[in-house]
Each structure stands twice: as C-alpha cells, then as structure tokens.
Amino acid sequence: MAQSDTVDRILDAAEELFADRGFSETSLRMITSKAKVNLAAVNYHFGSKNALIHAVFARFLTPFSATLESAFDELEERCEGKPPTLNQTLWALTESAVRMPQRNEQGISIFMRLLGLAYTQSQGHLRKFLEQEYSEPFGRFMRLLKEATPQLSSVDRYWRIQFMLGATAFTMSSSDALRDILKNKLGVETTVQEIAARLVPFLAAGMQAEDAMLIPSPGSKVSVA
C-alpha cells in the first residue's frame, strides 16, 4: 500500500483544500502537510501542481461521466424514440451526481464546488483539460437539451443554457458559504440534495419561460404581469 496510500492521501488533501480555498490560494506545502507526506511527493507522483489539479478532477469526473452516460442511455431507452423532457434530462444529470459513490459524506458538495471553481477561476489549463477529456457527455447533454426545448430559437436556447450553467456553477461554487449564511440567518440546515432539488425546478421554469423579450428604452415604464 506504499504508493497508492501516498497518492490517495495527496488527492484527498488537495481535493478538500482546493474546494475550500481555490487553486491558486492552495499551496503544495499546505497539501503535503495536511496529507502528512513529503513536499516532493507531489512532483514525484504527479509531475506538477497543474497535473495534480487534473488528477483531482479525473478521479471523480471519470466515474461520473460513465454514470451519466448510462443514465442517459437508460433515459433514452425508456422514452422509446421520443425525446426526453427537459425535467427528465435535468433530473438524470442531478441524480447521477447525487448517486455517485462518495468517498465521504460531503463528497458531492466538494465535487460541485470544484466544478464551479473550474468554470469560475480562470485556469486555462484546466478548461482545456476538461474540454478534451469530457467533451462527449457534455455534448450529449447539450443535444438532449436541444431536443427537449424545440420551441426555443437557437439563440434563446443558447442564452438560457448559459443562464442555467451560471446559476448552477455559481451556487455550487459557493454552496458551503451559502449554507453557513442560511444556517446563521434562519437556523436551517441544508443538504446538497436539497439545493439540487430546489435548483432543478428553478432552471426548468426559466428554460421554459414565456419570452417577454421587452427591451427597455430609456424613459419607458416596463411592467410585465
């Protein structure tokens, strides 16, 4: 258990610290001291800090994309040729995330926060890595979204997908902080599953909104029921 132990301890520590503080704000010395391994172990086993970041993502993203593929397979089979609905597609994604085998109880939380950071922090190498490693499930999700919203123009759909992405990535990337605020303010505890359960209806409703499409001109008083 010599190598695997060190490698896993580094990955565990890095995952948690990255999720807590972001990538640039986490040093290798923090990681190695939390993992109780030698500083040089990171560069020995992974090659560089960036490669470690990639490894952290790959460790949960690879099994997740497999889970997601089979969830989409099952969904499409169940629909027998008809395109899955928007809600079904969104739930397939959410359930795949929630059902993933967890290393610990806050696995999803960390997972989501890392995904949010991947979009939010400007780490060019990370985005490139994710795009070329996981383009397939991502593209498939986009295809399903398109088939589920035939009433939308390409342009509307494009922007609304961005809105969904933003709401999700942003919320998840700060979900711990938000949960804390909520706990202090209203005394309510919240799980990631509950956040997801609130997020999906929000996204679906926004995605299918009647398009008011009123461009406000200066001086006009806009009021939409």
Partner DNA sequence: GTCTGTTTGAAACATACGTTTGAAGCGCAG
Partner DNA sequence: CTGCGCTTCAAACGTATGTTTCAAACAGAC
Q: Which of residues 117-156 bind its own copies (CB under 8 A)?
A: 117, 119-122, 154-156
**Which is nearer to DNA, 16 or 76 (by Cβ)?**
16
Nearby residues of 35 by Cβ (< 8 Å), 6 or more positions away: 6, 9, 10, 12, 13, 14
Among 88, 103, 134, 140, binds its own copies (CB under 8 A): 88
| C-alpha closest to that of 195 among 140, 113, 132, 130 | 113
- Which entry of DNA, its own copies, none binds 216, CB below 5 to 8 A by partner kind? its own copies
Cβ closer to DNA: 7 or 192? 7
Q: Does 67 bind its own copies (CB under 8 A)?
A: no
Q: Can residue 200 be called a binding residue for its own copies (CB under 8 A)?
A: yes
- Smallest gap from Cβ 57 to its own copies, in A, equals 18
**Binding positions for DNA, 12-51, rule CB under 7 A:** 26-30, 37-45, 48-50
Only one residue has tokens 């209806």, namely: 201
Give the chain's radius of gyration (CA, Å): 20
Spell out a b/e string for 154-187, using b for 16 or more CB atoms within 10 Å of the CB, else e: eeebeebbeebeeebbebbbbbbeebeeeeeeee
Q: How far is the CB of 130 from its own copies (least distance, A)?
A: 13
What does 29 bind: its own copies, DNA, none (CB cut-off 5 to 8 Å by kind)?
A: DNA
**106 SS3 class:** coil
Which residue number, 18 or 64, has a Cβ lying nearer to DNA? 18
Q: How many residues bind its own copies (CB under 8 A)?
A: 73
Q: Which residues lie closer than 8 Å to 37 by C-beta, 6 or more apart?
A: 6, 9, 10
Dist. CA 207–CA 146, nearest whole Å: 11
Give the footprint of DNA on this chain (CB under 7 A): 2-3, 5-6, 26-30, 37-45, 48-50
